[in-house]
Amino acid sequence: MKTLKIGHLYPKLLNIYGDIGNIIALKKRCEWRGIEVIVDEINQVDSICEHDLYFMGGGQDLQQIEVSKDLQKHKEFLINERDRGAVFLGICGGYQLFGHYYQPREGEKLSGISLLDAYTVAGNKRFIGNVTVETNMVTPKTLVGFENHSGLTYLNGDTKPIGTVITGNGNNGADKTEGARYKNVFGTYLHGSFLPKNPQFADFLIELALGEKLPPLGDKTETLCHNSLVNKSY
């Protein structure tokens, strides 16, 4: 039996808006296919072992300060994990710390770990609401969720968006980009949770992590949920 090893980064600090639902979706979509899943909760530890997929959820500025400091000791290891092809998914605050830095409205700049060539600065308003994104990465080509962030994220170099904002604000409310990808590192502002509402993206990440195609699941309920949210603005 295949096994998927997931490293859940800082679940005690970064799990705002039920982002744990992404771990649950990955776990169930593997188990429904007879794939064993091991989830390691990685909070403030001295060292991390290799995993197929790493997940980091969202959080408020206060929790991000703690995570930013602790993450620095794992920066080199996680960059090596990225370069050997491990999959990463960061949601909102977790996404921001996958970049070079996050500058909150007040206080010091928070260092990220530069898995993505991106940076974030807090804006003057909070983006809150439903988001619909059009993407070429998966089929169906829509991604849905909700956003709640003041951070404005900008991408550089080979770090490209995961899609174009149809409804909502996305990375910064100006350039119509949402999320980011470099190698197998993905970030998005979509809470929801993101993967239960976008099962095609969950399977995309699992296939990348396992290095093999998955047999389809029915997804009737998930598809009804997804389609009910496409272009929903509030």
The contact set with ligand GLN (CB under 6 A) reads 16, 58-61, 64, 92-93, 148-151
Residue nearer to ligand GLN on the CB measure, 130 or 200: 130
Q: How far is the CB of 172 from ligand GLN (least distance, A)?
A: 11
- Whether 49 is catalytic is no
Residue nearer to ligand GLN on the CB measure, 15 or 200: 15
| Active-site residue (options: 8, 100, 149, 191) | 191
Instruction: Report CA 49 to chain centroid distance, whole Å.
Output: 20
Nearest of 161, 233, 145 to residue 195 by alpha carbon: 145
Q: How many CA atoms does the CB half-sphere of 47 hold within 13 Å?
A: 2
Residue nearer to ligand GLN on the CB measure, 151 or 199: 151
* Angle in degrees, CA 15, 162, 48, rounded to 5: 45
Q: How many CA atoms does the CB half-sphere of 147 hold within 13 Å?
A: 31
3-state secondary structure of 150: strand
Give the integer Cα–Cα distance in Å for 155 and 124: 20
Q: How far is the CB of 102 from ligand GLN (least distance, A)?
A: 7
Q: How far is the CB of 109 from ligand GLN (least distance, A)?
A: 13
| Active-site residue (options: 92, 100, 149, 226) | 92
Residue nearest to ligand GLN (CB): 58
Q: How far is the CB of 7 from ligand GLN (least distance, A)?
A: 19
Residue nearer to ligand GLN on the CB measure, 38 or 128: 128
- Whether 100 is catalytic is no
How many beta carbons lie within 10 A of that of residue 124, not counting itself?
7
Residue nearer to ligand GLN on the CB measure, 59 or 196: 59
* 101, 107 contact by CB (below 8 A): no
Q: How far is the CB of 88 from ligand GLN (least distance, A)?
A: 16
* 21, 89 contact by CB (below 8 A): no
Q: Is 200 exposed, middle or buried (0-12, 13-18, 19+ CB in 10 A)?
A: buried
What residues are annotated to the active site? 92, 191
